[in-house]
Amino acid sequence: MKSSLLLFAYIIIINRRHSLTFFPFSPFLLHLLSSYISIQRIYRFPNICHILANLLSRVTLLLPLAAVTRTTKAMLAAIRRFNTVAEQTARLTRFSLHPPKYVEVEFTNCSVFKLSAEFLRINSPAVDGKIRSIGGEKVISGRRHVGIMSAEPVGNYGVRLNFDDLHKTGIYSWDYFYHLGSNKFTLMRNYIKTLKKHGLSRDPRGRK
């Protein structure tokens, strides 16, 4: 709450100095919202705010370049630096395995990610003999009901996950967990699109 009030006070000062006008969907207001979301993302609602911040950034890109002032450009750069630093400095604080369904990881910036067994399996960092090469794309299908049997610590940087389809060579680092969690919706959406493109399914053969 304190950080939000400080940000709002800072915005008012800039607004008076540069005689900027608040109006719906203005570049300045969009960046104000992005700044607020970036702060709340770290302290309160990281997953939801991550999505909203990306959406606002895309909306901003649709605005005329002439409408973006020098001040708002500087603010956008600051927001990007803020997010980048937050992701680079995130450290794992909790790893919880809930076999066979999912893994839950939490980081120092309060980001909490619940990653399903299927999602982790299809994004295994290891070489996988079950992956098919179709039209130059690496595709693995039929893993909707895959389960995680166990997790083995690997040094102090990650774990090896053992799946019930006998895949057990994937070593997932804490940084990789953070990458998967931060991009979960995009990665899963692209995966489903690829399956549909090649007429494949998330379900195993003979099971719908």
pLDDT tens per residue across span 97-118: 999 999 999 999 999 999 999 9
92-197 fold: NE0471 N-terminal domain-like (3.30.2020)
pLDDT reading at 52 higher than 70: no
Residue range 41-65: mean pLDDT, rounded: 52
The reported pLDDT for the residue numbered 174 is 96
The reported pLDDT for the residue numbered 133 is 79
Residue range 38-55: mean pLDDT, rounded: 50
Q: What is the dihedral of CA 62, 87, 123, 155, to 10 degrees?
A: 170
More confident residue, 192 or 5: 192
The reported pLDDT for the residue numbered 66 is 54
* Residue ranges with strand state E in the chain: 92-98, 102-107, 112-116, 132-134, 137-139, 148-154, 158-163, 171-173
Residue with tokens 């998330």: 202
The reported pLDDT for the residue numbered 33 is 56
The reported pLDDT for the residue numbered 160 is 97
Residue range 181-197: mean pLDDT, rounded: 96
Domain span(s) for CATH 3.30.2020.30 in the chain? 92-197
pLDDT tens per residue across span 54-98: 555 555 555 555 555 555 566 566 656 655 555 556 899 999 999
pLDDT reading at 7 higher than 50: no
The reported pLDDT for the residue numbered 55 is 55
Residue range 155-171: mean pLDDT, rounded: 94
State the average pLDDT for the chain: 75
Distance of alpha carbon 142 from the chain centroid: 24
Distance CA 9, CA 19 (A): 15
The reported pLDDT for the residue numbered 76 is 61
For residue 189, give the H/E element and its range. Answer: helix 184-197
